[in-house]
Structure 1
């Protein structure tokens, strides 16, 4: 890729890494389910009136919207609200790549390559090290919900795989139409009218900015640019830049939120990123078209 597109791919990875810091800020101002509902509402409206529906069945749009938009992001946001730091969230969530390989093998009969198995082994050693640090700033519930979110993301990857090659932006806009109503309903049921009302009555610039960023920068800008680069150069050249997402996520969290990792977590991060790199270089990759955040 020419330098300008290399820098653009790196910028998208940085935007997705910074997004975990933004989520941390957002759930400080909004209950997590409500924050997720607002994210998808802004991502869908008004673009839904200007972006043509992709040529895929409604069942795929509903499946991705439900699994990715409702399940994955609900689990992630609640996990971060109950004891999972932004930096660790950006790292643990990357296990979606390996859950996708496992599910593709079990459900679609896709045999993983030796490189994918090796990458999976190395990365899960890193995740085991993260799990061993549960306590203090990392709750067992927050960690478990992040793993469950990664599994839900993997399920949505398999649904997305059935969509075939489609325009990433148009798919994301139409997928974003699905989550708001169930998310608003879940927020009303579990977070309560009082918490929702208080969030809107006590709006801060930080919370509004976080909502705008996650909807337009991380979702619309990120997926539009990522999809364009994949169309130009292919997934094999673009997907490796997703390895930068947890690096940016942990760096931004340390610099802006004061998150401390320590030697054990840094070793865990190195193992997970190394495992992801081995997976990316191993050839057949069922997650190649799936951006990191």
Structure 2
């Protein structure tokens, strides 16, 4: 079972890491918000078909079931991908993936703001600060060019990380009886609707500007079917088996696959600032989640001893 969990962990990391490269390919032909909107429209349709085939209940019935659908749909799907896809026009796949490593660092800080029961310790505050220092290192802002395209991309991807973390915080304590696949499908419907409205509202976004090239269609298919429907289903399977601490470590494996895919397919390079920023963000994560990491390590050691005793 543990080997299967490890395989799924690496598979999701690879799928979501290579998704950054696919996004870059699609953005060469499609406006970012429209690209994301169509992606999640298709992914939602696939998940509804899967839920129907499984015999799951399809529609939310109560306020408790609508809350995660609306908050997750708007923030985790809609706002997150509007910022992320727009930001990826200006930064490499590896930089975007590294910046999303802020999600497990930012989440505890947002939890502290939205839930009085959560406490961010002084050491945790240092960790959050280190996370943002890592962003500055990656951005390497030039005071004479504060509106440079790469810095603009860093800010947009940073905003996408904050939106994703906020969506996670707002949906974390939701008590929903709606099956998981149906919940995800509705989240994607809400997110896709938000992104379609964004496409109509922004003057630089236009359906007429879309060029449905073979490369764009291939990227859309990969992001909708493999990274979208398939990736999210495997992610939540993993979450239920190893918990949020171990799953959050995926954010530090994804950039490796993103960098390799970007280098092989797009000729992107990984500079020293990105590596240094990645290390800084990871140290910040360890400081923020140190108690959870200790607890998880103790649990893993206990489980290992139990398996060894059972084998004897």
TM-score by length of 1: 0.84
1:1-293 to 2 correspondences below 5 Å: 2-51=2-51, 52-53=57-58, 56-81=64-89, 83-109=90-116, 110-113=118-121, 116-132=124-140, 139-164=150-175, 168-190=180-202, 195-199=206-210, 202-283=211-292
Aligned equivalents of 2:176 and 2:197: distance in 1? 33
- The structure whose Rg is larger is 2
Q: How far apart, CA to CA, are the structure 2 residues paired with 1:137 and 1:21? A: 22
- Distance in 2 of aligned mates of 1:102 and 1:245: 22
Displaced runs of 4 or more, over 6 A: none
Report the more deviating stretch, 180-189 or 51-60. 51-60
Distance in 2 (alpha carbons) for counterparts of 1:77 and 1:184:
14
Is the CA contact 1:115–1:282 (under 8 Å) kept in the aligned structure 2?
Answer: no
Gaps of 5+ in 1: 286-293
Answer yes or no: is the 8 Å Cα contact 2:77–2:191 preserved in 1: yes
Segment of structure 1 superposing worse, 105-114 or 16-25? 105-114
Q: Matches of 1:189 and 1:250 in 2, distance apart?
A: 33
Residues 140, 273 of structure 2: 8 Å contact kept: no
- TM-superposed CA distance for 1:114, in Å, is 5.9
Contact 1:79 1:146 in 2 (8 A): yes
Aligned length: 281
Q: Deviations over 1:40-76 (max 9, x none)?
A: 1011114325523478421331121112222111111
CA RMSD of aligned residues (A): 2.8
Cα offset, 1:272, TM superposition: 1.9
Q: Give the 3 Å change call, closer, same or farther, for CA 175–32 of structure 1 in structure 2.
A: same
Inter-partner Cα distance in structure 2 for 1:213 and 1:19: 8
- Give 1:261 shift: 2.7
148-157 vs 263-272, greater mean Cα deviation: 263-272
Q: Distance in 1 between matches of 2:290 and 2:270?
A: 28
Contact (CA 8 Å) 1:243, 1:277: kept in 2 or not? no
Q: Which moved more, 1:225-234 or 1:112-121?
A: 112-121
Task: Assess if the C-alpha contact under 8 Å between 1:35 and 1:211 holds in 2.
Answer: yes
CA distance in 2, matches of 1:3, 1:24: 32
| Separation of aligned partners in 1, 2:36 and 2:225 | 13
Going from structure 1 to structure 2, the CA distance change for 1:60 and 1:233 (only over 3 Å counts) comes to closer
Alignment deviations for residues 78-118 of structure 1 (CA, whole Å, 9 cap, x no partner): 1122x122111111122122222111112212112566445
Structure 2 residue aligned with 1:291 = none
Q: Distance in 2 between matches of 1:240 and 1:92?
A: 14
